[in-house]
Amino acid sequence: MIKKCSILVIILGLFMSIGVSSVFAADTWVGKASLLTPRMSHDTVSLDGKIYVVGGTTTNSIVLNTVEKYDPNMDTWEKVANMNIGRYRPEVISYDGKLYVFGGSTSMNSATYTDQVEVYDPTINKWTNKTQMSSARSDVLAATVNQKIYVIGGVSSSGLSNTVEEYDPKLNTWITKASIPSPRQSAGLAVVDGKIYVIGGLSGGSNTTVQVYDPLTNTWASKKDMPIGKANFGISSINNKIYIIGGNINNSSPNTTDKVEVYDPSNDTWAYGANTLIPRNSASSTSLNGNIYLTGGYELTGTSYSLSNRNEILKLEVPKEFILTGTNNGISNNLNWSSLENITNYTVKRSLKAGGPYEALSKTNSTSYIDTNIQNNTDYYYIISATGDTGLVRDSNEIHLVSSVPTITGNALLTITMTNGIQKEYDLPMIEVNAFIKWYDNKEDGTGPAKFGIDMHDNNKGPFNKRIDYVIFKNILSFEVSEYTLK
């Protein structure tokens, strides 16, 4: 989903000082066919392979009820049926083959907020009124989750609104949900993995907060703040990342930017993306077919502003493959993965169920890992997280391995050569030899105790119930295992 976009030119040093990586900067923006009517403070949404631009305003303060449809395959625009009323700063979403538009202002006068809801059916090219919201508001945010539409916040004649409402399109009814903790206007919203993220906006100044709503539990939680507060930006989610495109930055001159930030909800981190072709505010964006489209807005050229009819598409770079593979050899899960450039280290992570949550097993500079801490007939799920100088860069694919530890029989002579040249020999069951090897491998990777106790068994000398010989990891030079079978 999208919300209005505004853009600001920032001093490079300001962004560099924040310490956010630029791992998406290789993406590129490309100009496409321009809008038929320049506009700003509109909304943009994709539906059935087409892109719709809805409402907004012009430089002479005319509030638009016009709607344009873009065909990405033909790179052409056409007009479709007008809304029943003009709307400035509306919110539009697509659901079940239709467009739903919520709120906005019917004129540039701040006292003309509307509670009207309209639905557009492209099969008959017609708008129809539905049950209105509980209050007239502009700058609301909306998202569809589990066949319900959630309409959040905005601004009304009483000021900023913390209202959250759930709309049932099938029943055409509304119910109230948990209020947003930090009301704001000119913010952005995106949905990732069934959760609703509300980002930035205005609340006395540029807001940096990120708050996430879980419709299943009807609760809000806070996430890592934006690198810098922005409002009136485009926002779209793609590949489970959220792109914050342009926007206004408070107390900055000029206050319109071409900068793009990328938020990764999976690890609560921010990175920078590729700049747009020109700074814009009050533009709007949507995602379609693996790309992001940015339309209209108020663009900055030098020191002059003008209403924009631009239509840009963000083509995402196809990153170098980061592929994890693995095998089970009976006593361990062996992992291998492709290398990436400019990586500080890799973190091996494991879970007992698909998708996590994962526990970190080890950090390494290698591109392989042997996991010996496994149980028989157990499902294990692995990913590798690659980390750069500025934090997490990306995760590998997840692999699934089922451990199949064979029944251990037989005996072996375990001969350990110490760093002082002394050799120690132990006649042990193979299960105890494997336990020693497992301890040694884990300790070599930096985990586990410094010493290992070996049962002396029949070598128990003296009036003792049991003797344990402890070997110290740092004192071991090498060891040898000679298996044999008892006749």
- What's the one-letter identity of residue 466? K
- What's the one-letter identity of residue 183? P
Same domain, yes or no: 20 and 138: yes
Sequence-separated (6 or more) residues with CB below 8 Å from residue 413: 425, 426, 427, 428, 480, 481, 482, 484
The rounded distance, in Å, linking the Cα atoms of 298 and 306 is 6
Q: Please say which residue of 291, 315, 339 terminates a domain.
A: 315
Q: What is the CATH number of the domain that holds 156?
A: 2.120.10.80
- pTM across the whole model: 0.66
pLDDT of residue 406: 61
pLDDT of residue 22: 55
- H/E element holding 12? helix 12-18
pLDDT higher at 20 or 133: 133
8-state DSSP, 266? T
Confidence of residue 23 (pLDDT cuts 50, 70, 90): low
Confidence of residue 1 (pLDDT cuts 50, 70, 90): very low
DSSP codes of every residue in 225-248: PPSS--BS-EEEEETTEEEEEEEE
Phi-psi region of 84 (alpha: psi -120 to 50; beta: other; left: phi over 0): alpha
The rounded distance, in Å, linking the Cα atoms of 72 and 50 is 7
Same domain, yes or no: 273 and 306: yes
pLDDT one-digit tens code per residue, 380-395: 999 998 876 545 557 7
Range of the domain at 382: 324-402
pLDDT one-digit tens code per residue, 400-416: 998 876 666 788 899 99
Cβ-contact 256, 300 below 8 angstroms: yes
Same domain, yes or no: 347 and 393: yes
Q: Is the dihedral of CA 469, 472, 478, 479 positive or negative?
A: positive
Cβ-contact 417, 394 below 8 angstroms: no
pLDDT higher at 206 or 157: 157
- Tokens standing for residue 147: 């066949």
Q: What is the CATH number of the domain that holds 360?
A: 2.60.40.10
Total structural domains within the chain: 3
Residue % of the chain over a pLDDT of 70: 89
Question: Residue 341 pLDDT more than 80?
Answer: no
Nearest to 141 by CA among 133, 129, 132, 150: 150
Q: Please say which residue of 375, 402, 429 terminates a domain.
A: 402
pLDDT one-digit tens code per residue, 284-309: 999 988 889 999 999 999 889 999 99
Phi, psi of 27 (to 5 degrees): -65, 155
Cβ-contact 221, 214 below 8 angstroms: yes
Q: Please say which residue of 373, 402, 431 terminates a domain.
A: 402
- Residue for token digits 């990777």? 445
The rounded distance, in Å, linking the Cα atoms of 199 and 222 is 10
pLDDT of residue 239: 83
Same domain, yes or no: 174 and 256: yes
Same domain, yes or no: 85 and 33: yes
Same domain, yes or no: 83 and 21: yes
The rounded distance, in Å, linking the Cα atoms of 283 and 305 is 13
For the residues 182-197, what does the mean pLDDT come to?
Answer: 96
Cβ-contact 233, 247 below 8 angstroms: yes
DSSP codes of every residue in 385-449: EEEETTEEEEE---EEEE--PPPP--EEEEEEEETTS-EEEEEEEHHHHHHHHHHHHHHHTT-S-
Phi-psi region of 241 (alpha: psi -120 to 50; beta: other; left: phi over 0): beta
Same domain, yes or no: 369 and 454: no
Residue 16: helix, strand or coil by DSSP?
helix
pLDDT of residue 447: 79
Distance of CA 21 to the CA centre of its chain: 15
Same domain, yes or no: 66 and 146: yes
Question: Residue 78 pLDDT more than 70?
Answer: yes
The rounded distance, in Å, linking the Cα atoms of 299 and 6 is 8
Question: Residue 267 pLDDT more than 70?
Answer: yes
- Residue 159 CB-density burial (10 A; 0-12 exposed, 13-18 middle, 19+ buried): exposed
- State the average pLDDT for the chain: 88
Residue % of the chain over a pLDDT of 90: 63
Same domain, yes or no: 288 and 259: yes
The rounded distance, in Å, linking the Cα atoms of 35 and 176 is 37
Question: Residue 338 pLDDT more than 80?
Answer: yes
Bridge partners (DSSP) of residue 400 are 381
For the residues 122-139, what does the mean pLDDT come to?
Answer: 97
Same domain, yes or no: 212 and 65: yes
- Residue for token digits 């938020």? 263
Confidence of residue 476 (pLDDT cuts 50, 70, 90): very high
How many Cα atoms within 13 Å fall on the side-chain side of residue 222?
7
pLDDT of residue 309: 95
Confidence of residue 163 (pLDDT cuts 50, 70, 90): very high
- Tokens standing for residue 320: 């170098």
Bridge partners (DSSP) of residue 175 are 166
pLDDT of residue 307: 94
